[in-house]
Homo-oligomer: A and B are copies of this chain.
């Protein structure tokens, strides 16, 4: 019916894998095409430019992410603080699985892209920023719930949520640099100790 959609999807998922496993600059349009078995003409039929492809890849990944293990980790049926552990666990197993298959820890696609492109492509930077905003919102909800449930002393939940996201990204960065997912398992759980207090307004 829609072989076009198929082609587009094939480009998208190939690009996603390659960008994640290597980097944006290191993967060329030609390579994506040859692996996805799509001629160049078709590529530029679906995506006006490599940058547009990157935007689509980010959207695609963010979508999967939000509906996949992140949705599970932030499951409202779990006690709020356990969701944080679940999140760390998920990150660990994902990175470990990837390393077992590919031999290398790919890290976080968003973090990778953010550091690579954000000084020279404001459009992509803004998109990545939006993804991080959304991710931090999940932490934010969780923390609010934890405070409301009385399992966490009141604190600046918004800032702490951002701190937690930063910590997660930092841990993955360190783990990737060591090419060792165990770093995530060891350092990860400390995410729960991060606190930014409410500004004193007395």
Interface residues of A (CB under 8 A from B): 21-23, 25-26, 104-107, 111-112, 114-120, 125, 128-129, 132, 159-160, 162-163, 165-171, 173-174, 176-179, 183, 186-187, 189-190, 193-196
Check A162/B187 contact, CB under 8 A, given A111-B115, A194-B193. yes
Closest to A133 in B: B178
Query: A116 contacts which chain B residues (CB < 8 A)?
Result: 23, 25, 112, 115-116
Query: A26 contacts which chain B residues (CB < 8 A)?
Result: 25, 120
How many copies make up the complex? Answer: 2
CA distance A168 to B166 in the complex (A): 8
Query: A160 contacts which chain B residues (CB < 8 A)?
Result: 190
| Contact assessment for B167 and A125 in the assembled complex, using a CB-CB cutoff below 8 Å | no
| Contact assessment for B187 and A174 in the assembled complex, using a CB-CB cutoff below 8 Å | no
| Contact assessment for A115 and B173 in the assembled complex, using a CB-CB cutoff below 8 Å | yes
| Contact assessment for B104 and A119 in the assembled complex, using a CB-CB cutoff below 8 Å | yes
